[in-house]
Amino acid sequence: MPVTPLHYPLAFIIYKFGGQRLSLPALIVGAMLPDIEIPVILLAFGLQGPNRLVLHSLFGGATIGTVLGVAITVLVYPPLTSAIFRVNESHVKEGCRLSVGLAASCLIGTISHVLLDVVNHQYNPVFWPFLSIYETPNPIVPLLGGADTASFLMHGLMAVLFAGLLLNRREKRWEQLLVGESLQG
């Protein structure tokens, strides 16, 4: 999905269904992390190269993506979130404590990104390094009417969900959307 923040609704939905066992910050970071490779790939290969690679594969997302996700969630997410959204940094740090649940949440978030991208891209290196980045079959996109239609449908759905979450007026909205409800008192 070219619009990285549109991966957020899926992370939030997974958090709601997973209950308080999962870390919302780690799900958010994991769900957006694979797109961090896009500018790196563009700098390395230019417009002629692939625009998705290691982090957009199940193997790369599960390994490198999870490790990077854990580091970013623990070290970068708390100060960044509290500075931009004026969320209580101690609440954010509490939700970003290193744990097995946080690592599992990064893994789930990263895999959710890879699987969501399968729905709206003609190619995805899902099975890299076991298959070439262009050899992964994609049976879903043709069923949705081709790459353009599939992309339009998925972007539209995620944009509506994202807007619905943002427009919901509730107390401590940013803490609930970025840290989770388990810390609300």
Q: How far, in Å, CA of 50 to CA of 4, rounded?
A: 17
Q: What residue numbers bound the domain in which 79 lies?
A: 4-183
Residues 6+ apart with CB under 8 A from 2: none
pLDDT at residue 18 in the model? 83
User: What pLDDT sits at residue 176?
Assistant: 86
Per-residue confidence (pLDDT) for residue 50, from 0 to 100: 74
What Å distances lie between residue 21 and 6, 34, 107, CA to CA? 23, 23, 14
Q: Return the pLDDT at 137.
A: 67
- Domain count for the chain, please give it: 1
Q: Which residues in the chain show pLDDT less than 70?
A: 1-2, 122, 137, 182-185
26 CB-contact burial (10 Å; exposed 0-12 / middle 13-18 / buried 19+): buried
Q: Residue 65: what pLDDT?
A: 97
